[in-house]
């Protein structure tokens, strides 16, 4: 039987440069490669010799889509090493700016990157010709997330206020109250988003995933918690490197994160949701039930519904925090300078983001390790394709290609993030 | 169809970068659909599967050149674009990844990757203008989305974009901000950095760290003297100049002078 090769030389609607190669013989998959040709930027190398105070600003530049995630993992890791406890109001503000990033990033992915796959459009602009109000709703949602980040951080891409010990400047109560009307609209729009995307057609495809996410006793996880899974993992974040390792996979030239003795795992909205459903805010839970999307949700194509439910959560949580907020006595606490080493994991929109730093008595970084969510999901994306492609193998190449792209986009991969960690192979001519 | 054909074609190209500057186009939520109505977004992989062939009227280039392959690719991109604009500090000045330019690249690669032999990367991270002629540079890490919309509108109208090249200091004075260096002794690169961010850091009580790169006729020698008066050590001064626009020649020179001092 003749071999059929599905090639996507430049994956669209993902952040960064990647390619996909799938080789089929009949309906048998012979090879799946998610290739990364994004050039390396060598962050862990040039962080050495920089000051610990610079880590949040420098690592933010790994990713323009989720800079807050990098800033948060960096400040938490270094504060942990130094035993710093921040003001409770600062803790709330960190959660709030993270909500802004989730709203921005999820609205971008749901409306502009993923929904066009389900509705058969090349992009959101083409989709807007037939669904103008829907796309406008998505853009306004995204803008509200951006506005929230800008009020707290000065700007939405590479915000400038977060620092060790707190913020350079904290907002007044009235600055935050000015966002409430928009956030109430966003909450309603997010519920409408969930209902809208829950009506899409989903391929019948479920997998026995190992979901990995943070878990916190009182809240849906963003900045803190233990690292848990549905298959028995329950560790302090400082133990991450004992349980996860990177391997040179047989069919890929990329280094991929795996769980010791268990292989690939899934991080991101689907993992958080399945592991922390009971911690979701009331309207988010109600929306999930209404959309018949209660956990366990094992279909990766339904991640778009879960992202929309997390949008509902992020809006509710932002409103709750604003209601509760009273400015701290000082925008930041003093951070002692001494030698140390610390790790942190926070929940970036795409999943857990691990940072580890070691630094000397002057506060100069001696080593850094960063494991972004996309490098953790990369192996899992390939596993999904191995299982999914045989089910659609009889269809025309063009259709298989698009469905494969859609299956990759289920993970909202951010290749810019993944690159400084991934092994690369140049496949472009 | 004929009116569709006449629309100017815009393409967005990515090199070594964080994707943030091209995201600015999608972050222009109020203008995006209007822009998409006025131009044909012909090639923008971050946003669309559609990939129309060149030539393009405007090419927006994000990212710096760090591989042999990209050094060749930028030549092809230049040939396809009537007007080529670099967006952001990576494309305009080499970006944060240009820190490798002062180091042993091979040692850097070994520090990050277990199998350095698989990694193809150049010793230097260089701006686009070191490889091909550039028609306009949009500064910033990240760029200001209003500048991007102004640039597209101006290019379509055949006029020069109205984007200031004066220093951040000037913007602070005009906005009536209290000077954080004078009032609180905070080191601030405002006197030598191009405005464009809206003087964000001083407004938030922190010193400017130079995201927009050197302002026109920046006096970095005077800046260095001032930083010394504020008690900054030479290594701290070198580090201050050596971030997201480290390879811009004025900042490069200033950091190297501080390092030698």
Count of beta carbons in the 10 Å neighbourhood of residue A289: 9
Cβ contact A122–B205 (<8 Å): no
Are both B212 and B86 inside the same structural domain? no
Quote the Cα angle for A319-A322-A326, to 5°: 160
Runs of H (alpha helix) within A199-224: none
Are both B174 and B202 inside the same structural domain? yes
Structural domains in chain B (count): 2
pLDDT score of A417: 63
Cβ contact A135–B244 (<8 Å): no
Are both B177 and B143 inside the same structural domain? no
Burial degree of A150 (CB within 10 A; 0-12, 13-18, 19+): middle
Per-residue model confidence as pLDDT tens digits over B91-104: 999 999 999 999 88
Average pLDDT over every residue of A161-175: 98
The CATH number of whichever domain residue A104 belongs to comes to 1.10.645.10
Question: Residue B98: inside a domain, yes or no?
Answer: yes
Taking phi first (over 0 means left), then psi (-120 to 50 degrees means alpha), and beta for anything else, what does residue A42 get?
A: left
Can you tell me the distance from the alpha carbon of A84 to that of A89, in angstroms, rounded to the nearest whole number? 15
Question: Residue A61: inside a domain, yes or no?
Answer: yes
Cβ contact B112–A423 (<8 Å): no
Chain B: closest CA distance from residue A246 (Å):
10
Please give the mean pLDDT across all residues of chain B: 93
Between residues A320 and A261, which one has the greater pLDDT? A320
Instruction: Show which of B129, B157, B185 is a domain's final residue.
Output: B157
Query: Distance from first CA to last CA of chain A, Å, rounded?
Result: 28
Per-residue model confidence as pLDDT tens digits over B131-174: 999 999 999 999 999 999 999 999 989 999 999 999 999 999 99
B45 touches chain A (CB under 8 A): yes
Question: Residue B163: inside a domain, yes or no?
Answer: no
Average pLDDT over every residue of B229-250: 97
Q: DSSP readout, A67-120?
A: HHHHHHHHHHHHHHHHT----HHHHHHHHHHHHHHHHHHHHIIIIIIIHHHHHT
Question: Residue A263: inside a domain, yes or no?
Answer: yes
> Can you give the length of chain B in residues?
261
Residues 6+ apart with CB under 8 A from B86: B61, B62, B92, B127, B128, B129, B134, B136, B137, B138
Q: Are A40 and A420 in contact (CB under 8 A)?
A: yes
Q: Are A306 and A297 in contact (CB under 8 A)?
A: yes
Cβ contact A42–B112 (<8 Å): yes
Are both B86 and B144 inside the same structural domain? yes
Helices (H) and strands (E) in chain A, counts: 16, 13
Whether A254 shows a pLDDT value over 60: the answer reads: no
Are both B229 and B185 inside the same structural domain? yes
% of residues, chain B, pLDDT over 90: 83
% of residues, chain A, pLDDT over 90: 76
> Can you give the length of chain A in residues?
429
Which residues of chain A lie closer than 8 angstroms to B244, CB-CB?
61
Q: What is the DSSP letter of A219?
A: S
B contact residues 2-21, partner A, Cβ 8 Å cutoff = 14-21
Phi, psi torsion values for A367, nearest 5 degrees:
-155, 155
Question: Residue A59: inside a domain, yes or no?
Answer: yes
pLDDT score of A248: 52
Cβ contact B109–A40 (<8 Å): yes
Per-residue model confidence as pLDDT tens digits over B59-73: 999 999 999 999 999
Q: Are A280 and A162 in contact (CB under 8 A)?
A: no
The CATH number of whichever domain residue B148 belongs to comes to 3.40.50.700
The closest of B227, B5, B217, B119 to A253, measured between CA atoms, is: B119
Which residues of chain B lie closer than 8 angstroms to A63, CB-CB?
18-20
Which residues of chain B lie closer than 8 angstroms to A45, CB-CB?
100, 103, 107-109, 111-112
Which of A15, A48, A128 shows the shortest C-beta gap to B19?
Answer: A15
Range of the domain at B62: 2-157
Which residues of chain A lie closer than 8 angstroms to B46, CB-CB?
12-15
Taking the mean position of all CA atoms in its chain, how far away is CA B175?
Answer: 24
Question: Residue B162: inside a domain, yes or no?
Answer: no
Question: Residue B63: inside a domain, yes or no?
Answer: yes
Are both B121 and B206 inside the same structural domain? no
Average pLDDT over every residue of B216-235: 96
Cβ contact B49–A123 (<8 Å): yes
Per-residue model confidence as pLDDT tens digits over B113-133: 766 766 678 889 999 999 999
Cβ contact A123–B70 (<8 Å): no
Per-residue model confidence as pLDDT tens digits over B191-223: 999 999 999 999 999 999 999 999 999 999 999
Cβ contact B46–A158 (<8 Å): no
Cβ contact B33–A420 (<8 Å): no
pLDDT score of B118: 64
Mean pLDDT: which of A397-401, B55-59, B101-105 is highest?
B55-59
Whether A29 shows a pLDDT value over 90: the answer reads: no
The beta strands (E) that lie in A120-254 are given as 162-163, 166-167, 212-215, 226-229, 234-235, 244-248
Structural domains in chain A (count): 1
Are both B9 and B135 inside the same structural domain? yes
Instruction: Show which of B134, B157, B180 is a domain's final residue.
Output: B157
Are both B98 and B182 inside the same structural domain? no
Are both B84 and B193 inside the same structural domain? no
Whether A14 shows a pLDDT value over 80: the answer reads: no
Question: Residue A423: inside a domain, yes or no?
Answer: no
Which residues of chain B lie closer than 8 angstroms to A169, CB-CB?
203-206
Can you tell me the distance from the alpha carbon of B255 to that of B233, in angstroms, rounded to the nearest whole number? 12
Question: Residue A32: inside a domain, yes or no?
Answer: no
Whether A253 shows a pLDDT value over 50: the answer reads: no
Which of B23, B103, B204 shows the shortest C-beta gap to A157?
Answer: B23
Best of A11, A16, A41 to mutate (most B CBs within 10 Å, chain B): A41
Question: Residue A350: inside a domain, yes or no?
Answer: yes
Which of B69, B109, B142 shows the shortest C-beta gap to A64?
Answer: B142
Between residues A42 and B175, which one has the greater pLDDT? B175
B197 touches chain A (CB under 8 A): yes
Are both B143 and B88 inside the same structural domain? yes
Per-residue model confidence as pLDDT tens digits over A176-210: 999 999 999 999 999 999 999 999 999 999 999 99
Cβ contact B206–A168 (<8 Å): yes
Chain A: closest CA distance from residue B48 (Å):
5
Range of the domain at A309: 42-406
Question: Residue A418: inside a domain, yes or no?
Answer: no
Q: What is the ipTM of this complex?
A: 0.95
| Closest residue in A to B211 (Cα–Cα) | A158
B contact residues 57-116, partner A, Cβ 8 Å cutoff = 63, 66-67, 69-70, 95-97, 99-100, 103, 107-109, 111-115
Are both B151 and B173 inside the same structural domain? no
Per-residue model confidence as pLDDT tens digits over A280-299: 999 999 999 999 999 999 99
Residues 6+ apart with CB under 8 A from A240: A227, A343, A345, A354, A371
Which of A61, A122, A156 shows the shortest C-beta gap to B244?
Answer: A61
Q: Are A66 and A349 in contact (CB under 8 A)?
A: yes
Are both B152 and B214 inside the same structural domain? no
SS3 of A348-404: ECCEEEEEEEEECCCCEEEEEEEECHHHHHHHHHHHHHHHHHHHHCCCCHHHHHHHH
B contact residues 126-155, partner A, Cβ 8 Å cutoff = 141-142
């Amino acid at each position: 039987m003749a071999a059929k090769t599905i090639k996507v030389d430049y994956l669209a609607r993902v952040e960064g440069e990647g390619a996909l190669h799938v080789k089929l013989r009949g309906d048998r998959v012979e090879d799946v490669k998610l290739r990364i040709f994004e050039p390396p930027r060598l962050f862990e190398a040039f962080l050495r010799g920089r000051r610990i105070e610079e880590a949040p600003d420098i690592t933010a530049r790994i990713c323009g889509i989720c800079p807050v995630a990098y800033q948060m993992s960096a400040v938490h890791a270094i504060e942990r090493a130094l035993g710093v406890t921040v003001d409770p109001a600062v803790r709330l503000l960190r959660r709030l700016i993270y909500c802004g990033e989730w709203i921005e990033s999820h609205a971008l992915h749901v409306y502009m990157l993923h929904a066009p796959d389900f509705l058969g459009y090349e992009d959101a602009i083409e989709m807007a010709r037939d669904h103008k109000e829907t796309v406008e709703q998505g853009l306004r949602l995204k803008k509200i997330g951006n506005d929230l980040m800008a009020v707290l951080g000065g700007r939405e891409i590479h915000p400038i206020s977060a620092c060790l010990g707190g913020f350079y400047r904290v907002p007044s109560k009235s600055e935050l109250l000015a966002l409430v009307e928009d956030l109430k609209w966003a909450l309603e729009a997010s519920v409408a988003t969930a209902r809208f995307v829950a009506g899409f057609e989903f391929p019948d495809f479920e997998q026995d995933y190992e979901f990995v996410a943070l878990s916190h006793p009182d809240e849906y996880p963003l900045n803190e918690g233990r690292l848990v899974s549905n298959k028995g993992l329950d560790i302090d974040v400082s133990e991450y490197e004992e349980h996860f390792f990177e391997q040179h996979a047989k069919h890929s030239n990329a280094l991929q994160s795996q769980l010791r003795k268990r292989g690939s795992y899934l991080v991101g909205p689907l993992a958080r949701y399945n592991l922390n459903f009971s911690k979701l805010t009331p309207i988010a839970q109600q929306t999930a039930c209404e959309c018949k999307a209660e956990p366990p949700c094992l279909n990766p194509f339904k991640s778009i519904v879960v992202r929309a439910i997390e949008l509902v959560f992020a809006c509710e949580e932002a409103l709750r925090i604003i209601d509760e907020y009273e400015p701290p006595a000082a925008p930041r606490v003093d951070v002692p300078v001494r030698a140390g080493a610390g790790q942190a994991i926070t929940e970036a929109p795409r999943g857990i983001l691990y940072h580890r730093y070691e630094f000397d008595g002057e506060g100069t970084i001696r080593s850094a390790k960063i494991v972004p969510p996309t490098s953790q999901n990369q192996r899992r994306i390939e596993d999904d394709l191995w299982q999914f492609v045989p089910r659609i193998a009889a269809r025309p190449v063009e259709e298989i290609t698009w469905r494969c792209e859609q299956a990759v986009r289920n993970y909202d991969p951010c290749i810019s993030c993944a690159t400084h960690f991934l092994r690369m192979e140049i496949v472009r001519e | 169809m004929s009116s569709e054909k006449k629309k100017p074609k815009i393409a967005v190209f990515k090199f070594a970068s964080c994707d943030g500057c091209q995201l600015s186009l999608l972050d222009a939520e109020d203008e995006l659909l209007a822009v998409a109505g006025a131009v044909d977004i012909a090639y923008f992989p971050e946003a669309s599967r559609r990939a129309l062939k060149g030539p393009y009227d405007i090419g927006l280039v994000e990212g710096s050149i760090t591989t042999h392959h990209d050094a060749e690719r930028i030549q092809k991109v230049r040939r396809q674009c009537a007007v080529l604009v670099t967006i952001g500090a990576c494309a305009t000045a080499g970006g944060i990844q240009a820190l490798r330019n002062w180091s042993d690249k091979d040692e850097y690669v070994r520090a990050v990757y277990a199998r350095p032999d698989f990694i193809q990367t150049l010793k230097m991270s260089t701006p686009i203008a070191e490889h091909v002629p550039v028609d306009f540079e949009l500064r910033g890490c990240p760029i200001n989305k209003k500048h991007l919309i102004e640039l597209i509108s101006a290019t379509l109208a055949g006029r020069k974009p109205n984007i200031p090249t004066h220093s951040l200091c000037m913007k602070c004075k005009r906005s009536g901000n209290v000077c954080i260096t004078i009032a609180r002794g905070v080191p601030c690169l405002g006197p030598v950095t191009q405005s464009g961010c809206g003087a964000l850091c001083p407004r938030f009580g922190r010193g400017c760290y130079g995201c927009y790169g050197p302002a026109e006729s920046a006096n970095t020698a005077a800046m260095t003297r001032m930083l010394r008066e504020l008690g900054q050590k030479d290594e701290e001064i070198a580090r201050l100049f050596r971030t997201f626009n480290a390879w811009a020649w004025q900042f490069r020179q200033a950091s190297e002078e501080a390092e030698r001092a």
